Structure 1
Amino acid sequence: MSTAYDDIKTQLQGSMVALVTPMHPDGKVDYKRLADLIDWQIEQGTHCLVAVGTTGESATLSMAEHSEVIRFYVQHVKGRVPVIAGTGANNTTEAIKLTQDAKDAGADCALLVAPYYNKPPQEGLYQHYKAIAEAVAMPQMLYNVPGRTVVDIAQATVERLADIDNIVAIKDATGSVARGEQLITALGDKMIVLSGDDGTALELMRFGAKGNISVTANVAPKAMSETFSAALRGDFNAAKEAHDVIKHLHRDLFIESSPIPAKYALHKMGMIDKGIRLPLVWLAKEHHSTIDEALIKANLL
């Protein structure tokens, strides 16, 4: 049965970057660099932009900053690609407020990370997502990343949530291809499944995932776009060829907590200033050579 949210499901595909939030050395958001990054990503073929996800340091932006950055994305992108706004929180009321702000700003979809730290049971997760979906009539995407949140959205809970019309997708960052395949089979056309794990994303697309929300795409947007465009066409030989050039980045960009290595890499590439917010710090010196060599190997330096 068709719904008002069918169109967005066709747009949530391909290479989707979870973009860093550029900052000045004093930690203030650098909107000039952010505009440049957005333009570069679109020019390089990135299919969707994720504003203020985990990689965008959502945990250390104030709520006001969070909403302002999302507004900036929408205003600067001007409809060139979909904007997915990270609006998750472990406080349901705050998540509703951020999601409403994202809708008011004109974002195309909200990305809602599983509530972290307070470890809700599955019924709590269901009621959390149901409350946000009922409060804000916009497309919404679940985000399951138990390695960060210490809570795991069970498949049965995802299946229950798939019956809510405006919950249209899930970002599966478990890193388990087998689990992702089970989700794809169970959900059918009710919900789009996207990978949130660079290392296994291409393999998951063989089983029907529609794309990848990526950290690696921050530094290698063209190669990631070529990889996932080919995969969408079903040409996995071409996808693998493009992917092999940059696949080592999936490991090296996590040598310290993300987005620390990605920010260092973009700074090394001359694209952002040396800014990050506590409790994150700049990449430790002993890891600089690892990232430098990874960028050279990927033909990015």
Structure 2
Amino acid sequence: MFSGSIVALVTPMTIEGAVDFDALKSLVKWHIEQGTQGIVAVGTTGESATLETDEHLAVVKAVCEAANGRIHVIAGNGGSATHKVVALTEALDALPIDGFLTATPAYNKPTQQGLIAHFKAVAKATDKPIVLYNVPGRTAVDMKPQTVAVLSELNNIVGIKEATGDLVRLADLQAQVQPGFALLSGDDATSRAFMLAGGHGVISVTANVAPKAMRTLCDQALAGHGADALATDGLIQGLHRSLFIEANPTPAKWALKRMGVLATDNLRLPLVPLTQAGQASVEADLKIAGLI
């Protein structure tokens, strides 16, 4: 389940700033047609920080309905307060999701023991599988491989999205976690190398705009076809960079609008529309990738 090309899905919004559920369901259908193997609903790229809890639940429910069992759905359930993450997990648990993606608590800067206590509390709130998410660039806390190894001993903590882009970190994880623990890249730019080195897939921002190419890249890399994977990745390496040229998911939403997949690229404050310079960069990389 937790392997291959998994998209960190954007949350479409109307001009008024409401969730656009019709566009959301169309987006899920498009990903299924394009070969995406899993969807993370309401992760960081889904603007989880600006959605109310009822909206968060409604978006995940709508993704599940649109997926209708045709693609795995993973719900983002991260947060900074453990009791709030537990409550959200319990609420999401009632939906037909396949698992959770749980980020380290942002802003608090807990110790490694604090991280262990946090994730143990979340794991007790559900029987469904949990994928840890280590993204120190956003949360200001780095979950060390030794901590991941301890958590991998829990029955329903089954993998990690590792977003440091550090391939030495991958080797450390491989040496310490329990057998069968899923190792997923959270860094598009290094995901090819990550998979060729034994990782199991990627939870991807680039997959929002280049889902077919990301699926092909994952298939090639996971099969050990390094030269083919290099060629595929070469076409989208620019996107790996330019989709982060301004705050994610700002460039990805603009790209989807430019491609005609979404009608709008609306965001919620404090995110603002992509600048002209950013638009030029993303457009150039979309052309290189053959997407416009």
TM-score for both structures, normalised by structure 1 = 0.94
Per the alignment, residue 137 of structure 2 pairs with 147
1:40 matched to 2:43: no
Per the alignment, residue 107 of structure 1 pairs with 97
Per the alignment, residue 218 of structure 1 pairs with 208
> Amino acid of the residue matched to residue 60 of structure 2?
I
For the residues of structure 2 that align with 1:203 and 1:192, how far apart are their CA atoms?
16
Per the alignment, residue 69 of structure 1 pairs with 59
Per the alignment, residue 277 of structure 1 pairs with 268
Per the alignment, residue 21 of structure 2 pairs with 31
Show the 5 A alignment for 1:1-301: 11-272=1-262, 273-301=264-292
Q: Kindly, what percent of the aligned residue pairs are identical?
A: 46
Contact 1:184 1:207 in 2 (8 A): no
- Bigger mean CA deviation after superposition, 160-169 or 225-234: 225-234
For the residues of structure 2 that align with 1:207 and 1:294, how far apart are their CA atoms?
27
Contact 2:4 2:37 in 1 (8 A): yes
For the residues of structure 1 that align with 2:211 and 2:180, how far apart are their CA atoms?
29
For the residues of structure 2 that align with 1:98 and 1:18, how far apart are their CA atoms?
19
Deviations 1:143-175 (A, max 9, x none): 000000001111111111011000001000011
Contact 2:152 2:178 in 1 (8 A): no
Contact 1:211 1:228 in 2 (8 A): yes
Q: State the 1:185 CA deviation.
A: 2.3
For the residues of structure 1 that align with 2:222 and 2:232, how far apart are their CA atoms?
14
Deviations 1:58-89 (A, max 9, x none): 00001111111111111110111110110111
Contact 1:162 1:190 in 2 (8 A): no
For the residues of structure 1 that align with 2:207 and 2:49, how far apart are their CA atoms?
21
For the residues of structure 2 that align with 1:49 and 1:240, how far apart are their CA atoms?
24
TM-score for both structures, normalised by structure 2 = 0.97
Secondary structure at 1:112 match in 2: strand
> Amino acid of the residue matched to residue 285 of structure 2?
A
Q: State the 1:190 CA deviation.
A: 4.6
For the residues of structure 2 that align with 1:210 and 1:78, how far apart are their CA atoms?
25
- Bigger mean CA deviation after superposition, 172-181 or 91-100: 91-100
For the residues of structure 2 that align with 1:256 and 1:189, how far apart are their CA atoms?
38
> Amino acid of the residue matched to residue 296 of structure 1?
K
Deviations 1:249-289 (A, max 9, x none): 11111110111110111111112213100010110122211
Greater than 6 Å deviation, 4+ residue runs: none
What is the root-mean-square deviation in Å for CA atoms of aligned residues? 1.0
For the residues of structure 1 that align with 2:58 and 2:162, how far apart are their CA atoms?
27
Stretches of structure 2 that go unaligned for 5 or more consecutive residues are none
Q: State the 1:102 CA deviation.
A: 2.1
Q: State the 1:295 CA deviation.
A: 0.8
Stretches of structure 1 that go unaligned for 5 or more consecutive residues are 1-10
> Amino acid of the residue matched to residue 40 of structure 2?
V
Q: State the 1:208 CA deviation.
A: 1.2
For the residues of structure 1 that align with 2:151 and 2:237, how far apart are their CA atoms?
33
Secondary structure at 1:110 match in 2: strand
Per the alignment, residue 7 of structure 1 pairs with none
Secondary structure at 2:59 match in 1: helix
Q: State the 1:181 CA deviation.
A: 1.8
Deviations 1:1-59 (A, max 9, x none): xxxxxxxxxx1111110010000111100111111111111111111111001000000
Contact 1:163 1:190 in 2 (8 A): no
Per the alignment, residue 4 of structure 1 pairs with none
Contact 2:136 2:164 in 1 (8 A): yes
